[in-house]
Amino acid sequence: MIKKFDKKDEESGSGSNPFQHLEKSAVLQEARIFNETPINPRRCLHILTKIIYLLNQGEHFGTTEATEAFFAMTRLFQSNDQTLRRMCYLTIKEMANISEDVIIVTSSLTKDMTGKEDVYRGPAIRALCRITDTTMLQAIERYMKQAIVDKVPSVSSSALVSSLHMVKMSYDVVKRWVNEAQEAASSDNIMVQYHALGLLYHLRKNDRLAVTKMLNKFTKSGLKSPFAYCMLIRIASKLLDETEGGHDSPLFDFIESCLRNKNEMVVYEAASAIVHMPNCTARELAPAVSVLQLFCSSPKAALRYAAVRTLNKVAMKHPSAVTACNLDLENLITDSNRSIATLAITTLLKTGSESSVDRLMKQISSFVSEISDEFKVVVVQAISALCQKYPRKHSVMMNFLSNMLRDDGGFEYKRAIVDCIISIIEENPESKETGLAHLCEFIEDCEHTVLATKILHLLGKEGPRTPQPSKYIRFIFNRVVLESEAVRAAAVSALAKFGAQNDDLLPSVLVLMQRCMMDSDDEVRDRATFYMNVLQQKQKALNAAYIFNGLSVSIPGLEKSLHQYTLEPTEKPFDMKSVPLATTPITDHKSDITPVSSSKLPDKLTPSRQDIYQEQLAAIPDFQGLGPLFKSSEQVQLTEAETEYVVRCVKHTFAGHMVFQFDCTNTLNDQLLQKVVVQMEPSESYEVVTYIPASSLPYSQPGSCYTLVRLPEDDPTAGRSTGMALAGGSGGDGCRPHPEGFESELWSSVGGSRR
């Protein structure tokens, strides 16, 4: 429409992107054509397209130049060309945040919004709401209410979606449009009904009772929109999860009834919601699995893919529930869609018998090189689960994994394979040498520093205990010669463990350490010098303390303590006892194989929950002299779900004190709570040192207040009770505080002991 390309351009590909080499200054120069008379719609449309393209490519427009272009563009409203007018709406939305005085187009947009041209009304509403702020919203409120209940579906949907966006900035104003939204929810148009339900939910989502009433209303009256049904299913499952309602709840019955809906999308949404519910039994899963089994034989590839992917997730926790689908999954192994075939095989690996493993591995080997890294990771996870289920098949798995390790692939894919091989080595001692040999071969040509250091650490831990530890020395020292600084440092540490554990290898290791002392990197030289001196002492106690065990402290905590030490000039040496110990979470890694997420950065150290609490408490002046945090408890709910204020408590234990952190949420939308404190009545042996109030607690915004208690030296198990006094101001228009306020008290008892 804008530019005609000849056939040669299309075939060569040179005309695929006419805006590839645009310059902002040239485009803004061209925008002067907007001021010409008469208006040329074709040329103006082309220039507006260029401006929007540059904005979406991240090109920075200064405020002045953006405002000039915007003012010039407003003249285009004089044209009656429909395409040009709709492009103007798009440009207004894109430039709303970078131009000044965009409200000058309000009258033009309002005119289009209330005009007779339906093709203008919807886009005009969206553009108008994009430039409207809280002060102007009431001026267009009447028009918005009319648009929400408009008979034209595109106009009604535009108003509903725009209202949904405005909820974030003007909740109280949009809340007054509930009646119109409810009327729109009874529309015959499927998109209008869906958007109306979305707006109603977002207006009521902080009021559980209102959401429950809304669910009951729509589940009884029924809906015409499959999209609205899907949203209802999601709301119901979220409510079930929050209330921890049993599976005999009416909400669960509603979700289960949706399995019999005529629309495939609704049926799948209901099945997916059921299989993702926590603590779901095999009997409750059965109807959902039966539906997914039917989808496996669907002629639609999207349905087959959705079904087999969901069954794959179910098989992780409930393999017996999926066994009935094995025949259908076998048929999908030869599916033309490789993603479906891969998921089918990995599901069968989790549900099949030990005798079928060899056949399935042979089938997946035939096309594993053709699938993407994402699905290769799924295959590796299935193999890892299979190794735990059938340990005797580790040799078949190890050969398959070693072949995959040689193939090209990204970091997440390689990390999944390495983790799987390491887990096989740890669980099957007879596979140790084979697994270490494959990993040694891998690090000879490994471009990922994280994986190389991880494997070197494993070699230092397991290698010295093998029958022939000397064969690993060559692979490790090659890393000192050929790799980056981080890998060289890890290799030095691994070599030291061989020398500390094998007297026969000690002379050779000392020679290699001397060579490492000439390294160009400080870290490598320091490690080599340190280990050299420790190894020369030939004392097992020293080796155990400084080579095998290392530091058992929290790394983020150590980093913070060292930083604090450098900020405070002192002649005292740094005290390692001031650093909190590293806590090892008690988890059963065999129970669940969690998928590898590509969004997680492995080379970044994630602070633990206790480290985060330590940092938060250290920022409060009254708590800075308490010393290192010993332990933080799990969060405990103190109030009932229906009370006016929701209060949760976390106990932080220090050497001589205990800090009670009360996380409070105000559920009253007409009150602003101020100076929220928790008053405690301890037993005689305890002493409340100070209270740290939460300065303000607006509606639905959580806040924290603290109580510091000194612990007794003799009796650490006395019970305690707490009372909470909340001062709040009532306002008629939202959450404005009353000038005087009033005091309110909510009492609850807390029993606890120091553990």
3-state secondary structure 434-467: HHHHHHHHHHCCCCCHHHHHHHHHHHHHHHHHCC
Whether the per-residue pLDDT at 182 is higher than 60: the answer is yes
Residue among 534, 469, 514, 521 nearest 490 (CA): 521
Band of pLDDT at residue 15, cut at 50, 70 and 90: low
- For 374, the token pair is 């994402």
Helix or strand (DSSP H, E) at 293: helix 282-295
Which of 119 and 578 is assigned the larger pLDDT?
119
Residue 511 sits in which domain range?
456-548
Whether the per-residue pLDDT at 271 is higher than 80: the answer is yes
Find all residues with CB under 8 Å of 527, minimum gap 6, and list them: 489, 492, 493, 496, 516
For residues 526-549, give the mean pLDDT: 84
| Long-range contacts (CB closer than 8 Å, 24 or more residues apart) made by 114-121 | 114/143, 118/152, 118/154, 118/155, 119/82, 119/86, 120/82, 120/85, 120/86, 121/147, 121/150, 121/152, 121/154, 121/155, 121/158
Count other C-beta atoms under 10 Å from residue 431's C-beta: 20
Has residue 472 been placed in a domain?
Answer: yes
Query: Tokens 């080595």 sit at which residue?
Result: 425
Q: Where are the beta strands (DSSP E) in 8-139?
A: none
Domain's final residue, options 497, 519, 548: 548
DSSP readout, 175-186?
GGGHHHHHHHTT
- Whether residue 556 is preceded by a cis peptide bond, meaning omega within 30 degrees of 0, is no
Tell me: the pLDDT tens digits for 55-103?
888 888 888 888 888 888 888 888 888 899 889 989 888 888 888 877 7
d(CA 5, CA 129): 38
Has residue 674 been placed in a domain?
Answer: yes
Kindly report the CATH number assigned to the domain that includes residue 725: 2.60.40.1480
Q: Are 420 and 383 in contact (CB under 8 A)?
A: yes
Residues 636 and 742 in one domain: yes
Has residue 89 been placed in a domain?
Answer: no
Tell me: the pLDDT tens digits for 147-166?
999 899 999 999 999 999 98
Q: What is the DSSP letter of 691?
A: E
- Exposed (0-12), middle (13-18) or buried (19+): which is 488, by Cβ within 10 Å? buried
Whether the per-residue pLDDT at 590 is higher than 50: the answer is no
Query: Tokens 């505080």 sit at which residue?
Result: 737
Count other C-beta atoms under 10 Å from residue 520's C-beta: 8
Residue among 148, 157, 73 nearest 123 (CA): 157
Averaged confidence pLDDT in the chain? 81
Whether the per-residue pLDDT at 746 is higher than 60: the answer is no
Has residue 599 been placed in a domain?
Answer: no
Q: Are 704 and 664 in contact (CB under 8 A)?
A: yes
How many domains is the chain built from?
2
Three-state DSSP at 725 gives: strand
Domain's final residue, options 529, 548, 567: 548
Tell me: the pLDDT tens digits for 22-34?
888 888 888 888 8
Three-state DSSP at 336 gives: coil
Q: Are 746 and 644 in contact (CB under 8 A)?
A: yes
Across 102-116, 338-352, 478-492, 711-725, least confident range? 711-725
Has residue 698 been placed in a domain?
Answer: yes
Band of pLDDT at residue 755, cut at 50, 70 and 90: very low
Find all residues with CB under 8 Å of 485, minimum gap 6, and list them: 521, 523, 524
Helix or strand (DSSP H, E) at 647: strand 645-653
* Cα–Cα–Cα angle for 100, 101, 103, rounded to 5 degrees: 135
State residue 519 phi and psi, 5-degree precision: -65, 155
Residue among 111, 112, 107, 76 nearest 91 (CA): 76
Strand partners of residue 581: 553
Over pLDDT 70: what percentage of the chain? 87
- For 753, the token pair is 């002991």
Q: What is the DSSP letter of 581?
A: B
Find all residues with CB under 8 Å of 86, minimum gap 6, and list them: 119, 120, 123
State residue 309 phi and psi, 5-degree precision: -70, -40
Find all residues with CB under 8 Å of 272, minimum gap 6, and list them: 288, 306, 310
Residue among 501, 499, 504, 454 nearest 479 (CA): 454
Burial code of 730-747, b = ≥16 C-beta within 10 A, e = fewer? eeeeebebeeebeebeee
Tell me: the pLDDT tens digits for 403-421?
888 888 888 888 999 998 9
Find all residues with CB under 8 Å of 311, minimum gap 6, and list them: 289, 292, 293, 296, 322, 325, 329, 347
Has residue 244 been placed in a domain?
Answer: no
Reading phi first (left if > 0) and then psi (alpha if -120 to 50, else beta), residue 715 is in beta
Mode of pairing for the β-strands spanning 671-681 and 694-697: antiparallel
Has residue 719 been placed in a domain?
Answer: yes
Domain's final residue, options 487, 520, 548: 548
Q: What is the DSSP letter of 17?
A: -
Tell me: the pLDDT tens digits for 656-702?
888 999 888 887 777 778 888 878 877 777 888 888 888 888 877 78
Tell me: the pLDDT tens digits for 491-507?
999 999 988 888 888 88
Residues 643 and 536 in one domain: no
